[in-house]
Structure 1
Amino acid sequence: MMQRLISMPLATVLVVAMLMLPGQASAILQKGQPAPPFKVVSTSGQQITEANYKGHVLLIDFFATWCSPCRDSIPHLIRLNQKYGKQGLQILGASLDEEGDKTVRDFCAVQKVNYPVALANEEMQTEYGLRSIPTLYVINKKGIVAEKFMGFNSDMAAKLDLLIKQLLAE
């Protein structure tokens, strides 16, 4: 009798947890969905929202200074900004570093980052369904997620370049 009383609440908890999983999975931002609004402050103190990027192709790079693949992606993002920045590409670095602005500012100075970087607040991380880093979202001129890239490698870099070129031509 006692085992049944213990296993009934446990079974209830497991069923509730399993029912919640599909809802959690659907909360992950996917290609074709509108990009969620966000409000962050850049490491230089500038207020940044999604409205700053209206009519532009936006690449949001969720990264951290301690993440090796994130560090590997930054030179490519710098080159993309040099290549396509005047054609309408905008890049926003969204750091997950907990050490604060100074750590991120120093890192960006050493890396010679040529685009705005902000600390990604909890709300932004949740809205974008962040699960790992680096994660890059490419958002088209209409504010729709055109692609999501997780991780970084040379194949992804080539795909990213081609996608941005296509989106800028639209």
Structure 2
Amino acid sequence: MKKSNLAIFTTLFIITTLQILAFNLGSSHYDPLIDTTYATNLIDVGTLGIDWTLEDILTDSSITFSSFRGKVIILDFFATWCVPCQDSMAEFANVKNSFSSHDLVIISIHSDSATESTLEDFAVDYNMDWKIVIDTANLRNHYEITNIPTIYIFDTDLRIHHRSEGIASASTLSNIINSILDEYKPPATTSRPPGEPLDGFWVKNWYWFGILLVFVVIGSVVFIQRRKVIEHNKKIHAEKIAEKRRKEQKRKRR
């Protein structure tokens, strides 16, 4: 009986130990809760992103990093087997639907060990309708990726604005994107944007057109008055010439 209890206890001890080891090994590969915005293992904020060209597996077209200048760019380093990566996809989907394609581009980057068919199936399962590339450019090494998911967010000048490991919520991502767009917002213009109703254009810019109208009126008045002065001077000059001729004629008659 004692031997039986000892065997059971030993078996349970071994199983428990193996589970703890397995958990620790798994968590060392990724930690969905870790926030390393200022981690030293990631490239510094403000660093210019390197240029690269890879193929988007969903459209079979080449995309170049530098071609997205003027937009906020999110690089998402992920793997299909990574559970936190899977959970992140819903957050990215919410963010993508909240911003115009003129302002934001999301690119998910998988290691070069993945096949296109595997990634295509994964994209369908997790509703990924943004750009997905296979990392044949070795971007993971350049950006010093040691845990996944890891994201880098670039500003409109292609410089790193934010980087972190783990799941980033849609609200967190949206706040970061809005802060970049607000900082790099182009100067106001009075030209009418394509597609904007003409009535709305006049309502927005009535002040400037009012000032322009005042200058036009003042300019018109000055022009008219100047014309009157010129005509008056011509008339006086003509009268003086006529008077001079009359006097000369009188002298000749005498």
Q: What TM-score bracket applies, with the shorter chain setting the length? A: 0.7 to 0.9
Equivalent residue number for residue 127 of structure 2: 112
Q: Could you tell me how far 1:46 is from its partner in structure 2?
A: 1.2
CA RMSD of aligned residues (A): 2.0
Partner Cα distance (1:52, 1:105) in 2: 24
Q: Which deviates more, 93-102 or 34-43?
A: 93-102
Question: Gapped runs of 5+ residues in structure 2?
Answer: 1-38, 185-254
Give the counterpart of 2:172 among 151, 159, 167: 159
Cα deviation, residue 97, structure 1: 6.1
Call closer, same or farther: CA 1:50–1:110 in 2, change over 3 Å.
same
Following the alignment from structure 1 to structure 2, what is the Cα–Cα distance between the partners of residues 85 and 65?
27
**Cα distance in structure 1, aligned partners of 2:74 and 2:114:** 24
Q: 1:96 to 1:123 in 2, by over 3 A?
A: closer
* 1:63-117 Cα shifts (integer Å, max 9, x gaps): 0110011011111101111101345011111112623111001100121112110
Q: 1:149 to 1:45 in 2, by over 3 A?
A: same
Other-structure match for 1:29: 43
Secondary structure of 1:85's counterpart equals coil
Equivalences for residues 1-170 of structure 1 within 5 A: 28-43=42-57, 44-86=59-101, 88-96=103-111, 98-152=113-167, 154=169, 157-169=170-182, 170=184
**TM-score calculated relative to the size of structure 2:** 0.53
SS at match of 2:161: strand
Q: C-alpha distance in 2, partners of 1:28/1:153?
A: 16
TM-superposed CA distance for 1:130, in Å, is: 1.5
Corresponding residue number in structure 1 for 2:23: none
Question: Structure 1 pair 142/99, CA: closer, same or farther in 2 (3 Å)?
Answer: closer
Q: Distance in 1 between the 2:90 and 2:155 partners?
A: 22
Distance 1:89 1:153, change over 3 A: closer
Which consecutive unaligned segments of at least 5 residues does structure 1 have?
A: 1-24
Change (3 A) 1:145 1:111: same
Cα shift at 1:122: 4.8
Say which structure is richer in strand: 1
Please tell me the residue identity of whatever aligns with 1:168: L
Which structure has more RCO (C-alpha within 8 Å, separation ≥ 6)?
Answer: 1
1:26 & 1:148 partners in 2: Cα distance? 11
For residues 68 and 133 of structure 1, the distance between their equivalents in structure 2, rounded to whole angstroms, comes to 10
Aligned residues: 144
Provide the C-alpha distance between the structure 2 equivalents of 1:153 and 1:56, rounded to a whole number of angstroms: 20
What does residue 10 of structure 2 align with?
none
After TM superposition, the score normalised by the length of structure 1 is 0.77
> Hey, what's the Cα distance between the residues in 2 that align with 1:98 and 1:57?
28
Counting aligned pairs with the same residue, the percent is 24
State the AA in 2 paired with 1:33. T
